[in-house]
Structure 1
Amino acid sequence: MSTPFGLDLGNNNSVLAVARNRGIDVVVNEVSNRSTPSMVGFGQKNRFLGEAGKNKQTSNIKNTVDNLKRIVGLNYDDADFATEAKYFSSKLVKLDNGKIGAQVRFAGEQQTFSATQLAAMFIDKVKNTVISETKANITDVAIAVPAWYTEEQRYLIADAAKIAGLNPVRIVNDVTAAAVSYGVFKGDLPEGDQKPRIVAFVDIGHSTYTCSIGAFKKGELKVLGTAYDKHFGGRDFDRAITEHFADLFKTKYKIDIRENAKAYNRVITAAEKLKKVLSANTAAPFNVESVMNDVDVSSELSREDLEELVRPLLDRVTVPIEQALANAKLTVEDVDFVEIIGGTTRIPSLKDSISKAFGKPLSATLNQDEAIAKGAAFICAIHSPTMRVRPFKFEDVHPYSVSYFWDKQEEDEDHLEVFPAGSSFPSTKLITLHRTGDFSMEAKYTNAKELPAGTPVELAKWDITGVQLPKGQTSIPVKLKLRCDPSGLHTIESAYTVEDITVQEEIPKEADAPEDAEPEYREVTKTVKKDTLNIVAHTFALSEKKLNECIEKENELAAQDKLVAETEDRKNALEEYIYTLRGKLDEEYASFASDEEKSKLKDMLAKAEDWLYEDGFDSIKAKYIAKYEELASLGNIIRGRYLAKEEEKRQALRAKQEASQMAEMAEKLAAQRKAEAEKKEEKPDAEGDIDLD
């Protein structure tokens, strides 16, 4: 049975959660952190994923890729590319399909990986983290992504999960996942005919600002409106601080950190820490040792100075709130509570601006860092066929209108708006077309002018075949079940032709008709299913061939990472054995080895040490194992003698303790018997006890 897994795919850090033990647990990573850096690094032999990538980022800056979710599905020629590129230290290149890839030096040569592959590498890493920490079987995942993700990006994230060996049961908007977490665990929500509770969720993370308005009843959520600013987040604050100090250091220390990627990364890392300190303090020092050219830099920054640096950002705070309320057709007075999530909402000036925009105090009943992952885990549990969860129904909202287009025939219309903007999903619509033969359909956004720049207008295309026109008819009715699925993806679920047939239907008897009256029939025309049609979908998803190639590549890289890790473990085990055995040979093991054995073993240890730091410094796993076993062939004999003597001592001590306990117990029993005998002698004889009265 698969344990439901929820992944909050963050831009800076990701949070992992699982549904188990009648609750939702956040999974810690290999260093016991409750979040994992969302980055992938490349080295001479293997990859550095998550924490390992973060640890090596400064020294491996050109070959470390972060901001992964920002480039998934992004075209190299999009206007957003220039904005995103400035946050990357690795080289971004244009792929053959026009998308963005990262060019890195890996295993001694230049290699290029697509954004989908990079996301898959990270998802594979966190999947293994969950398996390692929970000892559970993990196959299903619900992934939380930004509300501004296009249909293409949702398909590609789903593909990334498949490359990582997971089944993406749902791609959910991140703030919707947080809202689900709120609705599931809140016990005081209205019921029945009571007025729904209106809650605004404001999520400001590392790179994105989203506001969603939800209506809650017990066991039920309906998202009413969502708006976002996709270029507003913690990284913009970090960059503003870094740019401020870059100018300052250029004047004060005559160094330009913009010319040195490692120096810039050191300063931006320090800027992130400074930003967090200023959330709780009015001023803080800023120091970075040996930032570049062996120069140590120092300065300070006040909270007021920071607010002035980010004034252009603060001026945009109210925009998503106003848009979300307009989409939901509500005013601030209609909102009952405002919940803040995301690490950047801890900045005091942002909290003040949000509170003023709604005209009410803010709530933080949800864990700001973990609410999204917990909601995603619950959503994954909903899809589990073997897990029982408390009933909870939720619907998201279409941000833009979607229409379906088809080949125009005769005087028919050639399109239909199926999912209007503001309508809820998942949802299904059944339409009927009159066709003369096989045809194609296409889903597109209805109003291209409303879309953000770079958003593909076309969503999917389907070829529908198998239409057989009956003789004597100019067309045949075709029923199509159009669906916007739980992940917000538009599909054609089924297609079939129908025909009208005439059947005999019994006429209901009148109330005063005699019981033995003969039944009467009438002819009725009914529409029934005739032929199921074939549907061939053309979506943004990777082709089966390309997907399999990516899966094979990821498996190959994962196997290489595992081999490198195991080789390093064997090398470390050999090194530890050499030093441990050498130290004990003159101490604990001294009386258990002959002079000849000691001399031979010391010579073997010295040769193994020389080999380890010279020819064997970069060897293979099998050679480390062979060297270890060569030393152990003699070392373990001596160690065995020592352990046998120690065991003999333990047994003797145990026997002595047991004998002492038995003697002590015998003494207690003897004393008890003596006390009972003395008590019996002191007791008067019953026959001599006479009443003289």
Structure 2
Amino acid sequence: MSVVGIDLGNLQSVIAVARNRGIDVICNEVSNRATPSLVSFGGRQRYLGEAAKTQEISNYKNTVGSLKRLAGRTVSDPDVQEYEKKFIAGDLVDVDGQVGVKVSYLDEAQTFSNIQLIAMYLSKLKDITAHEIAGPVSDCVITVPGWFTEIQRRAVLSAAEIAGLNCLRLVNDLTAAALGYGITKTDLPEDKPRNVAFVDVGHSDYSVSVASFVKGQLTVRGTAYDKHFGGRDFDNVIVEHLAAEFKEKFKIDVYTNQKALIRLRVAAERCKKVLSANPQAPVNIESIMDDRDVQTIVNRTDFEEWASHLFTRTEDTLKKAMEVAGLTVADIDAVEMVGGSTRIPAIKTTISNFFGKPISTTLNQDEAVARGAALQCAMLSPVFKVRDFRVNDICTYPIKLEWTKSPEDDDTEIVVFDNNNNIPSTKMLTFYRSEPFTLEAKYANPADLPRGINPWLGQYTIKDVKPTANGDPAQVKVKVRLNIHGIFSVEGAHTVEEKVVEEEVTNKDGEKETKKTKKLVKTGDLKVVSGTTSVPHTVIDQYAEKESQMVASDKLIMATEAAKNSLEEYGYDMRDKIMGPLSDYIDPGIKDKFAEDLNTVVDWIYDEGDDQPKSVYVEKLDSLKVIGTPVVERYREAEERPRAANSLMETIQRVTKEAMSGDDKYSHIAPHEKQDIVDRCDRARRWLEEQLAKQEKVPKCETPILFARDISKEEEAVVAFATPILNKPKPIPKPAADESTDSPMADSDEKNEDDKAEKKDEMDID
């Protein structure tokens, strides 16, 4: 069974698997340890991950990124319109009430929701993993930002379901990093906790989490987020300044050309990475637009000045995290950083100065989150045994329940799960009602949510509520839960009544007696009708069916392309070889016709054969191989036959030499047996010479009469005949006679008689 952790990133994703008593980060099809988070659509198929990256510029209108940022959003969402729209060249549209994209796929306009796009990408990650572990992939843990709301988390879970993945947990990314940090530590304290600040500056957001560690346990104390502070914002700073410079210097406006803008963003990202390790970075872009090449130099000091408004925001999130955690800077024992953008020197300096201590480098900045997710998956999987380590995560946003005021209530709402409430968590609420009632779940502080996210979580109607027998309101217990994914639900409801029950108790004298006590007794389950932010199952089923069809179509296209490439490769390769090394091994009467057929196939592929069914390519290749394969086999036989013959002759000489040797280790073998070996070797030699002589008379272009496999069989027969004889063990030598007496036979007989008597006595003993 697979145990997989997926760090679902906005720019790229990392996959880790638990195996070989450890955690491995796996490579994709081009040997990269991170896969671009991109989905692209073409006239015949989809392109996912690395394949989509290669088309990011040429097919920009049908290539979609920022998949994680679109999760659970609507097209009218201010964040989508003001932020994400800048990074997606395609048309953003409404699909089933969600934000989606309109693209050209299979040469027709089609729309896909954000859930479908994420599912497509997860399917690609699933395929990468399956290929690496050579087995099926099912159970996984997926990381999401801690600031994700319920509707965003549900979108990722739905996408995983569509992709055929069983997501055991959606874990907050910095909680995963903290798990990977703590579970390997053997020096964690048992009493006073070790407080560690984890800082993650990724491609599109900035997260800080403060965790306390004791032996066998981590507890998240507080978190804070800047949802629009990441690597892409620093890239955009460079883009804006270089766009202005190019407009003045080269008289081009990249904002009027989408391809030029994408090329500049790619160059800006590369420039930022170079500046992280060097004082300056060159920027050279060939044919950015209007056949113009541009070049410039960016200094780190200039970059830091351009982005100063971003750097000043770094401390704000750190202060908020410390405030939520209830700790001071002096309480922090270590600072761990993850995320690619933490390599920017100014960010590292700001964070180090804030905490007054150097930044730790215990974790791999790019892979720590995926490794932690894989560990969490192993801990949840029944087939893996992992060191006991408890993870206490917390609720990011307080959740409240509201209801219509009734005569029995003074309040109309209650905060059920407050800020920093443990995840998962279950609570039991008590209501007094005489009739069915409805609860509405909402986020308590809408201002803290990402812009555009509706604070409403769900509506739950408690049915079948009736007064008690004496007409009083029934006491209703409602069970609410914040599950392991951070999703709220009403688990159930039931009524209870206070009844007098008789119990047997033991008194102080040790005697049994019956005692009457009042207890709350469950009297009946109540039906709960729920309405939540989850996508209806009918829609999920439609998405899953559509995804299955697209996967099958992609596989068929890839198989067709492979068949076409095989035909093309065979045509070129065989055409050259029959005029070269294979020339003597093909019948001259068909050689020219075969060469003509090969040329015809190659020309056909580049003409009407460019887009044909797989069966057509396979049929043409098979028809060519009817002639070509025997030619290749005759050539290979001509190459392998001498090697096989030499091997047989060497074996004959070796075995004959051993049989005729005067070596003491063969002295026990009878002469006639040695002669049998020599005769067998001689027969094999004569057979080989006769067969080789006959083969010499056969033209190279005809089927051989002597095959290398026949020679190998003869060699095996010689070895099989000689080995048992030559390996026959020597007989055990007879024991030497005892010369210490004058009458050995008499003594021996007497001794034997004594032995027999002794043995007989022994046998008679019971």
Q: TM-score range, shorter-chain basis?
A: over 0.9
SS at match of 1:552: helix
Would the aligned equivalents of 1:202 and 1:338 in 2 still touch at CA under 8 Å? yes
Structure 2 residue aligned with 1:205: 202
Give the stretch that moved more between structures: 76-85 or 626-635. 76-85
Q: How does 1:601-616 map to 2 (within 5 A)?
A: 601-616=594-609
Q: Please list the CA deviations of residues 136-158 of structure 1 after superposition, one character each: whole Å capped at 9, or x if unmatched.
A: 32111211111111111001110
Give the unaligned 5+ runs of structure 2.
668-766
Which among 385, 388, 412 is matched to residue 388 of structure 1? Answer: 385
**Would the aligned equivalents of 1:190 and 1:197 in 2 still touch at CA under 8 Å?**
yes
Structural mapping, 1:72-151, within 5 Å: 72-95=71-94, 97-151=96-150
Q: Residue 276 of structure 1 aligns to a residue in which SS? A: helix
Deviation at 1:165, TM superposition (A): 0.8
Which of structure 1's runs of 4+ aligned residues deviate more than 6 A?
Answer: 671-674
Which residue among 289, 310, 315 is the counterpart of 1:313? 310
Change (3 A) 1:594 1:224: same
Q: Corresponding residue for 2:624?
A: 631
Shift of 1:131: 0.4
Q: How does 1:299-338 map to 2 (within 5 A)?
A: 299-338=296-335
In structure 2, C-alpha distance between the alignment counterparts of 1:655 and 1:568, rounded to whole Å: 45
* Corresponding position of 1:523: 516
- Paired residues of 2:96 and 2:113 also in contact (CA < 8 A): no
1:432 is aligned to 2:452: no
In the alignment, what sits opposite 1:621?
614
Q: How far does residue 668 in structure 1 lie from its aligned partner after superposition?
A: 7.3
Partner Cα separation in structure 2 for residue 87 and residue 127 of structure 1: 29
- Give the whole-Å Cα distance in 2 for the aligned partners of 1:14 and 1:284: 27
Q: How much does 1:379 deviate?
A: 1.2
- Please state how far the C-alpha of 1:663 moved relative to its aligned partner: 5.5
Which residue does 1:54 correspond to in 2? 53
Shift of residue 547, structure 1, vs aligned partner? 0.3
What corresponds to 2:492 in structure 1?
Answer: 494
Q: Residue 407 of structure 1: CA displacement?
A: 4.2
CA distance in 2, matches of 1:263, 1:330: 48
Residues 238 and 271, structure 1, Cα contact 8 Å, conserved in 2: yes
Match of 1:265 in 2: 262
1:121 is displaced (CA, Å) by 0.6
- How far the C-alpha of 1:521 sits from its partner, in A, is 2.4
Aligned residues of 1:164 and 1:551 also touching (Cα < 8 A):
yes
Give the C-alpha shift of residue 672 in structure 1. 9.6
Cα deviation, 1:31-59, whole Å, max 9, x if unaligned, reads: 11000000001111111100000111111
Displacement of 1:667 in angstroms is 8.2
Contact 1:90–1:102 (8 Å) recurs in 2: no
Closer, same or farther in 2 for the Cα pair 1:241/1:469, shift >3 Å? same
AA partner of residue 15 (structure 1): V
Aligned residue in 2 for 1:648 = 641
Give the aligned residue type for 1:32.
Answer: S
Distance across 2 between alignment mates of 1:670 and 1:40: 74
Q: 2:167 is matched with which residue?
A: 168
The answer on 1:375 being equivalent to 2:368 is no
SS in 2 for 1:185: coil
Establish whether residue 246 from structure 1 lines up as the match of residue 243 from structure 2.
yes
Question: What does the per-residue CA deviation read over 1:206-261, in whole Å, with 9 as the maximum and x for residues that have no partner?
Answer: 11111110001121111111001111111111111111111111111111111111
| CA drift at 1:284 | 2.1
- CA drift of 1:442 comes to 1.9
Structure number with higher relative contact order (C-alpha < 8 Å, ≥ 6 residues apart)? 1
Tell me which residue corresponds to 2:451: 453
Q: How does 1:183-202 map to 2 (within 5 A)?
A: 183-191=182-190, 194-202=191-199
Amino acid of the residue matched to residue 426 of structure 1?
Answer: P
Q: 2:673 matched to which residue of 1?
A: none
Q: For the Cα contact (< 8 Å) 2:461–2:528, is it kept in 1?
A: yes
1:87-133: CA deviation from partner (whole Å, max 9, x where unpaired) = 32422433155532111111111211111111111011101110011
Structure 1 partner of 2:502:
504
Match of 1:563 among 528, 532, 556: 556
Are 1:414 and 2:412 counterparts? yes
**CA distance, structure 1, for counterparts of residue 7 and residue 20 of structure 2:** 21
One-letter amino acid of the structure 1 residue matched with residue 194 of structure 2: R
Structure of greater Rg: 2
Residue of structure 2 equivalent to 1:346:
343
Residue in 2 aligned with 1:482? 480
- Deviation string 1:563-584 (CA, Å, 9 cap, x unpaired) is 1111110000001111121222
The aligned amino acid for 1:583 is D
CA distance in 1 between partners of 2:269 and 2:653 (Å): 65
**One-letter amino acid matched to 2:361:** A
Instruction: Report the 3-state secondary structure (helix = DSSP H, G, I; strand = E; otherwise coil) of the residue aligned with 1:381.
Output: helix
State whether residues 440 and 460 of structure 2, in contact with CA within 8 Å, keep that contact through their aligned partners in structure 1: yes
Cα 1:284/1:663, change in 2 over 3 Å? farther
Q: Indicate the SS of the match to 2:608.
A: coil
Q: State how far apart, in whole Å, the 2-side matches of 1:123 and 1:530 are.
A: 46
Give the distance between the partners of 1:381 and 1:537, measured in 2 at CA: 33
Residue 640 of structure 1 deviates from its aligned partner by 2.8
Q: Distance in 2 between matches of 1:665 and 1:439?
A: 99
Classify the secondary structure of the residue corresponding to 1:366: coil
Go from structure 1 to structure 2 and tell me whether the alpha carbon gap of 1:308 and 1:534 turns closer, same or farther (over 3 Å shift). same
Instruction: Please list the CA deviations of residues 326-379 of structure 1 after superposition, one character each: whole Å capped at 9, or x if unmatched.
Output: 001111111110101111111111100111111111111000000000111111
Structure-2 separation of matches of 1:477 and 1:565: 63
- Structure 2 CA distance for partners of 1:449 and 1:367, relative to 1, 3 Å: closer
CA contact (8 A) 1:507 1:521 kept: yes
SS in 2 for 1:130: helix
In 1, Cα distance between equivalents of 2:617 and 2:666:
68
Q: Which of 535, 547, 559 is the equivalent residue of 1:554?
A: 547
Distance in 2 (CA, whole Å) between partners of 1:181 and 1:290 is: 45
- Quote the Cα distance in structure 1 between the aligned partners of 2:661 and 2:50: 62
Residue 79 of structure 1: CA displacement? 2.3
Contact 1:19 1:378 in 2 (8 A): yes
Q: Do the aligned residues in 2 keep the contact of 1:90 with 1:103 (CA within 8 Å)?
A: no
- Percent identical: 44
Bigger CA drift: 141-150 or 82-91?
82-91
Q: Give the alignment's Cα RMSD to 1 decimal.
A: 2.0
- Report the Cα offset of residue 673 of structure 1: 9.7
Q: Secondary structure at the match of 1:24?
A: strand
Tell me, what secondary structure is at the counterpart of 2:286? strand
TM-score by length of 1: 0.92
Q: Deviations over 1:401-428 (max 9, x none)?
A: 2112234332323332211112222111
Cα distance change on mapping 1:469 and 1:579 into 2, 3 Å: same
Moved more, 388-397 or 546-555: 388-397
Which secondary structure does the structure 2 equivalent of 1:100 belong to? strand
1:572 matched to 2:565? The reply is yes
